[in-house]
Amino acid sequence: MAIIRDLHDDTYLAVDNSFKAIRGSVRPPDIGSGGGYYRRSLASGTLATLTNGSMFYAFRNPVAATVIIQNISVGFRAIAGNTTISFIVSLYATRSYTATETAGVATAPTLKGGMMTQTRATQLNSFLRISNTGPISGGTGTNDSQPLASLIFNHPGAISNVGLSSQTFFPQLSGTSTKPGGGLGGIGTHVFPLVLAQNEGFRIYTDTTPNIGTNTVVAYVDVDWCEASSF
Amino acid sequence: MAQIQSGASADVMTVDPSFKAARVTIRPPEVTGAYRIALRTGTIAAATAAGIMGAFRYTGTGVAVITSVRVGLNVLSGYTQGSIIFSAWITRSYTATETTNYTAATLTGNNAKLRTSHATTSAVCGAATTAGCSGGTGTDDSLAIGSATFNLPATIVGQPVQDLWTSSIQTYPLVLGQNEGFRIRNDTAFAATGTANVVMMIEWFEATAY
């Protein structure tokens, strides 16, 4: 028989009466010293030239830290247009990243903010980049042959200024799955997160064309991640 | 009286003072590899009969644990208004993978890995081209394990991805042994006139045992 006591403040672990279960208080992933928890929401400019295979978002881990991707969601605003179209947005794993993309708007490692707790590292290491008015390019990483995940959106055509609700690539990790147990999803519960080593990342593409005719959109991409010494 | 100390360091477990709860961080299962893939069919013709839109087969000697299967419709042209149901079916005794109307995914090397250091997958999967695929020799169960219904709209309206099946920490996942798998089928025919791509997502991990 053992009674478990906290060495730090003399608190005793409780066992619940009904199910005789020990109480657990679930904590975020351990990131070691020097890591941090981050969240960034980026908006593109007004995009008018996205076609089949246009990259509009890129994320790269350029340092030795392990990056754990906890959620990625994408939404759009249909600004103007004339053609109703259904289009696919896909997430690709990128490996052997030797040069970061050049076009678009970057969130550079020197830019602070987006950290979810003040007590951790105050400067993120990862590169994030979103399109300005057209596709981004210039990176040298190699994508997988198939996407890790895909989403489907509708541009409503002539109806302008319509929101295309955000969807997540990782519904189980973000707890938005519609099937039983989905709400209990979370990093490490029973599914594996996307784990990025140095010079790995991901890119988001339109896999079919949203900018038919005069259709324009603004893209919104939210990413939750942490940078850890190991995982 | 006991304190729990790490076997790898001098760290001692904390018990929260208010609820007397032990602090825990939940980790993923022990795996040889974790994977995700999104498959897309070609342009599925109008009035395509009920059939197989995607197939997954595990060929390794351990187990493949399927944690989610999702499907959506990228509508390319409007249908004679209708609806359709997609389902996931467990396939046993899979001795030959589909061959007809079938495009196999590239799963060599690092493809589909959620972590590059993981092993290359021992699964094979693929999607239909422009009609239901065939040629596989596995035997499907009599009943599906998950389904999702979609509108087949008269005008172009994409049908966002839905869960066909997901597992959680409270439900048992689909655990596949060697030469077992599952198929994603349209259980009803596509309506006339319209066309679409079927988008399918599969999430799984492989382990020596589960």
Q: Do A86 and B20 touch (CB under 8 A)?
A: no
Name residues whose C-beta falls within 8 Å of residue A204's C-beta, 6 or more positions apart in sequence: A55, A56, A57, A58, A72, A74, A89, A90, A91, A92, A221
User: Which residues on chain B are in Cβ contact (under 8 Å) with A163?
Assistant: none
- Whether residue B128 contacts residue B51, with contact meaning beta carbons closer than 8 Å, is answered with yes
What's the pLDDT tens digit per position in A122-174? 566 778 888 998 999 999 999 999 999 999 999 988 887 888 888 888 876 65
Chain A residues with CB under 8 Å of B163 CB are 171, 177-179, 182
Sequence spans of domains, chain B: 33-207
Distance (Å) from the C-alpha of residue A2 to the closest C-alpha of chain B? 5
Of the partner residues A146, A181, A190, the one whose CB lies closest to the CB of residue B39:
A146
Quick one: average pLDDT of A178-190? 45
Interface of B with A in 2-31 (CB under 8 A): 2-4, 12-17, 19-29, 31
CA distance A207 to chain B (A): 10
A198 band by pLDDT with thresholds 50, 70 and 90:
very high
Asked whether residue A24 is assigned to any structural domain, the reply reads no
Flag whether pLDDT at B35 surpasses 90.
Answer: yes
Helix/strand/coil for A172 = helix
Q: What is the enclosing helix (H) or strand (E) of A174?
A: helix A171-174
What does the alpha-carbon distance between residue B184 and residue A187 come to, in Å, rounded to a whole number?
27
Nearest to A23 among B20, B157, B199 (CB): B20
Burial readout A161-195 (b: 16 or more C-beta within 10 A, e: otherwise): eeebeebbbbbbbbbebebebbeebbbbbbbbbbb
B165/A181 Cβ within 8 A: no
| CATH fold label, B33-207 | Jelly Rolls (2.60.120)
Q: Are A192 and A134 in contact (CB under 8 A)?
A: no
Closest to B19 (Cβ–Cβ): which among A25, A27, A150?
A25
Among all chains, which residue has been given the structure tokens 């996307």?
Answer: A194
pLDDT in tens, A59-107: 999 888 899 998 899 999 999 988 899 999 999 999 999 998 988 888 7
Chain B nearest-CA residue for A157: B156
Total structural domains in chain A?
A: 1
Which tokens belong to A48?
């008018």
pLDDT band at B154 (very low <50, low <70, confident <90, very high): very high
Which residues of chain A are within 8 Å of residue B106 when distances are taken between CB atoms? 145-146
Answer whether residue A68 is part of any domain: yes
**Over the stretch B197-209, which tens digit does the pLDDT of each residue have?**
999 999 999 999 9
* Residue A210 domain-assigned (yes or no): yes
Give A112's pLDDT tier (boundaries 50, 70, 90). Answer: low
Q: What share of chain A is helix, strand, coil (3-state, %, to 5)?
A: 5, 45, 50
- CA distance to partner chain A, nearest, from residue B30 (Å): 10
Say whether B34 sits in a helix, a strand or coil: strand
Contacts of B165 in chain A (CB under 8 A): 179
* Banded model confidence at residue B185, pLDDT cuts 50, 70, 90: very high
From CA B153, how far away is CA B159, in angstroms rounded? 9
Could you tell me what percent of chain B has a pLDDT over 90?
A: 79
CA distance A143 to A200: 10
Count of CB atoms situated within 10 Å of the CB of A127: 20
CA atoms within 13 A on the CB side of A188: 11
Contact criterion met (CB below 8 Å) for A151 and A167:
yes
The percent helix, strand, coil of chain B (3-state, each to 5) is: 0, 50, 50
